[in-house]
Amino acid sequence: MTNGFRSSPQVDEAENEADQAEVGVFELVIPRREAALVPGPLRGGRQALADSIRRQLVSNRAVKTNPLKDEFGMIRDEVITLSASEGVTNAMKAFKAAYTGLNDVTVPREWDDKIRAFYADEFLPNLKKNVDGDPVLDVYLPRLIPTRYLQYHYMVQSPMPYKQKGQDLDRTDPSPYGEVHKRYHRGFHDFASRFGFEDVYLIDHETGDIVYSTQKTADLGTSLLHDLRLLVWAGYDKGIGRKGSSDRLQECDPLLLTRGSSSVSEETYQKVATVGEIPEGEGRAFEVNDRMVAVFLDEGEYFALEDSCPHQGAPLSDGMVCGKTVTCSWHGWKFDLGDGQWLDSPHTRVATYPVRVVGDEIQVAVPKD
């Protein structure tokens, strides 16, 4: 094998099949020449040749596919086996309880300053190598208390280089989480090293919280379900270039986002729908003055927002409406229907427009460009 994967019976079988297919081609060439004088067998020979080539291509595909299947299958089996073990189950329960307890701790200003310095001086310069443009610091800073607490103690305070901080085996913290970490970290670290895993996570399946990570990178303590920065971190940690991703983030940056103005110098109301056409708890899209506008009805009140999510441009009119907010259907960013503010950042918002009901007409005022 030259592709670095283990050999397997399937691979050998596929290779044999490929060898047979090559033999098949050779054999068919001879009859084809003879068949040039005999039209009947020629057609049969061509068909056989086509079949042989097809088999050969299928074999080639199998040769490349089977090792990958084997590799992923093996990883899956290892993860399932590990997850089912009593030790891991106990560790998960202990880490989850300790992580939840961190919601009650206090994160001093001084820690936040150091976290910020770490992201500015170490994290962002490396991230920049994998994305276009200048990533914006505030987008990446951890916000939740448990995340900040864990990243301060296990990432910022560790003297090890980034991605090697998990090798700081005796690092702990004075909280109950520190006790749990001391009990389990060495074992998980050994497992990851022995089996060649870059990282091992313990993730709360209900919240998506990463309550433990062997490697201790910027995803420690964050949530797979709610923390969108993970999408970009994945690109950084795996060294994958993500063209354009930082451009999109810049659109959401408090300092760079300029699309949130809702002022209307000359209010010109235009009918977009008749009362009853927008169901309660839903949104509909309308084109007004060359702009797409999402009009929502929530608890009997109408709201009009620019119909484009500042994250990646999804139509907000498709989002889920609840409690005077709309949640983008693509990645879950949530916006206040009243002022268009992204709930994760007070500085990022989408444009809002005045909306009113006159008679049975729903009217929206959108400024002309």
Q: Closest separation between CB of residue 312 and ligand FES, Å? A: 4
CB burial of 182-192 (b: ≥16 within 10 Å; e: otherwise) equals eebbeebbeeb
Handedness of CA 266, 270, 276, 277 (dihedral sign): negative
Start-end of H helices in the chain: 9-35, 39-84, 86-101, 109-118, 124-128, 137-140, 145-151, 176-195, 229-237, 245-252
- Cβ at position 192, least distance to ligand FES in Å: 32
DSSP per-residue letters across 191-204? HHHHHT-S--EEE-
d(CA 117, CA 123) in angstroms, rounded, equals 9
Report which residue type is found at 327. T
171 part of the interface to ligand FES, by CB under 6 A: no
Structural contact between residues 30 and 45, judged by C-beta atoms closer than 8 angstroms? no
Residue 309 in contact with ligand FES, rule: CB under 6 A? yes
Q: Which is nearer to ligand FES, 102 or 309 (CB)?
A: 309
Selected from 10, 207, 250, 312, the binder of ligand FES by CB under 6 A is 312
Site for ligand FES in 326-345 (CB under 6 A): 328, 330-333
The vertex-173 CA angle with 172 and 177, nearest 5°, equals: 90
Output the smallest distance, CB 367 to ligand FES, in A: 24
50-54: long-range pairs with CB below 8 Å, 24+: 52/21, 52/24, 52/25, 52/28, 53/21, 53/25
Q: Residue 28 or 328: which CB sits closer to ligand FES? A: 328
Contact characters 222-241, ligand FES, x per CB under 6 A: --------------------
Among 311, 321, 352, 364, binds ligand FES (CB under 6 A): 311
Binding mask 253-292 for ligand FES (x = CB under 6 A): ----------------------------------------
Distance of closest approach, residue 236 Cβ to ligand FES, in angstroms: 19
Regarding 321 and contact with ligand FES (CB under 6 A), the answer is no
Count of residues touching ligand FES (by CB under 6 A):
9
Distance in Å, CB of 328 to ligand FES, minimum: 3
Q: Measured between alpha carbons, how far is 328 from 320 in angstroms, rounded to an integer?
A: 7
Q: Which residues bind ligand FES (CB under 6 A)?
A: 309, 311-312, 314, 328, 330-333
